[in-house]
Amino acid sequence: MSDLDGVRAQRKAQTRARILGVARELFQTCGFGDVTVAEVASTAGVSVQTVFNHFATKEELVFAGRVSWVEGPAEAVRARGPQQSALAALHSYLIDWVRAEIVASTTEEHRRFLTTVEDSPALRVYERELHHEAVTRLTEALNEGGDQGWRGEGGRRRGGDPDDYSIIASLTASVWLAAIRALLLDLRRTPPPVPGTAEVAAVVEMTERILDGLRNGSGIASGDDGVTGCGALAGAEPTDPLAAPRQPAGRQRSARQMPSVVAGPIT
């Protein structure tokens, strides 16, 4: 890269950072729905086209740099070691994700971000779309290995039919990510646990129990010739936890307070 190219890249990065900072400040102060892209551009001292050169949508101004979880699960599956199964790699990633979210939830910046999302129907819809994109990418990653991807889970598939792997990959991605998103949404709407406390350990332990229950009941490790667990859900309409209406404040209950409901069947 020439010196001129380096200067241009630096200016581009600075412009992007300025737009992002201005936009987020306006969204937090005025509300996402009450701020236009034109107002963001004017305040940042750039044109509307410049904003869209850096960010494809208005929603992207909120989520940019905060959605590693869209590709993360799929990357974890693809980058696993030769002796590690797909589900083991996914399990480890999701546990680390929950831990990271707990730590992030204690910072003022992250809490402001969550408040901005919760207060905007448009952003909640966009977040659901990101969730579905994460499911799609994870499904593709799980399906790439076929039988090899499920080795080490202790179960048998029906004759090695590729369609079986495709169905199970789709159901696994949908159910596992839905479970984690439901847990994170619950954590989002309650006071964050303090890192290093017994409360955090309890949340992580519950997450592990949920994932272990899904893993043991998925039909992958069942040791039978049929599709059980997740496979049994094939005829059911999945529930999107991100689309569930918010309960009145007095009725909200934390997953940390409901181990018998959330984790009971897994024991």
Distance CA 260, CA 266 (A): 10
**pLDDT, tens digit, 9 for 90 and up, residues 137-194:** 999 999 986 655 555 554 444 445 656 778 889 999 999 999 999 999 988 888 877 8
Is residue 166 domain-shared with residue 244, that is, in the same domain?
yes
Element (H, E) at 18: helix 3-30
Residue at which a domain ends, from 20, 35, 62: 62
Is residue 73 domain-shared with residue 7, that is, in the same domain?
no
Is residue 102 domain-shared with residue 30, that is, in the same domain?
no
- Is the Cβ–Cβ distance between 119 and 31 less than 8 Å? yes
Lowest pLDDT segment from 70-84, 212-226, 233-247: 233-247
Residue of 267, 187, 215 lying closest to 92 (CA atoms): 215
Number of domains making up the chain: 2
Residue of 186, 193, 183, 174 lying closest to 246 (CA atoms): 186
Average pLDDT, integer, range 215-234: 46
Tokens 């901005």 locate to: 116
Is residue 52 domain-shared with residue 131, that is, in the same domain?
no
Within 10 A of 40 (CB to CB), how many other CB atoms are there? 23
User: Counting Cβ atoms within 10 Å, is residue 255 exposed (0-12), middle (13-18) or buried (19+)?
Assistant: buried
Distance CA 201, CA 241 (A): 24
**CATH number of the domain bearing residue 31:** 1.10.10.60
Is residue 128 domain-shared with residue 248, that is, in the same domain?
yes
pTM: 0.76
Is residue 205 domain-shared with residue 175, that is, in the same domain?
yes
Please tell me which residue, 126 or 195, carries the higher pLDDT value: 126
Tokens 């040791």 locate to: 223
- Is the Cβ–Cβ distance between 69 and 173 less than 8 Å? no
Is residue 147 domain-shared with residue 219, that is, in the same domain?
yes
The predicted structure's pLDDT at residue 88 = 93
Is residue 83 domain-shared with residue 210, that is, in the same domain?
yes
Structural domain harbouring 211: 66-266
Residue at which a domain ends, from 47, 62, 77: 62
Residue of 133, 135, 142, 176 lying closest to 162 (CA atoms): 142
Is residue 99 domain-shared with residue 222, that is, in the same domain?
yes
Please tell me which residue, 213 or 218, carries the higher pLDDT value: 213
Is residue 99 domain-shared with residue 207, that is, in the same domain?
yes
Average pLDDT, integer, range 70-74: 97
- Is the Cβ–Cβ distance between 207 and 98 less than 8 Å? yes
Is residue 108 domain-shared with residue 209, that is, in the same domain?
yes
The number of helices, as runs of H, and strands, as runs of E, in the chain is 12, 0
Is residue 96 domain-shared with residue 223, that is, in the same domain?
yes
Residue of 69, 66, 70, 72 lying closest to 89 (CA atoms): 72
Residue at which a domain ends, from 62, 84, 110: 62
- Rounded to a whole number of angstroms, the distance between the first and last alpha carbons of the chain is 57
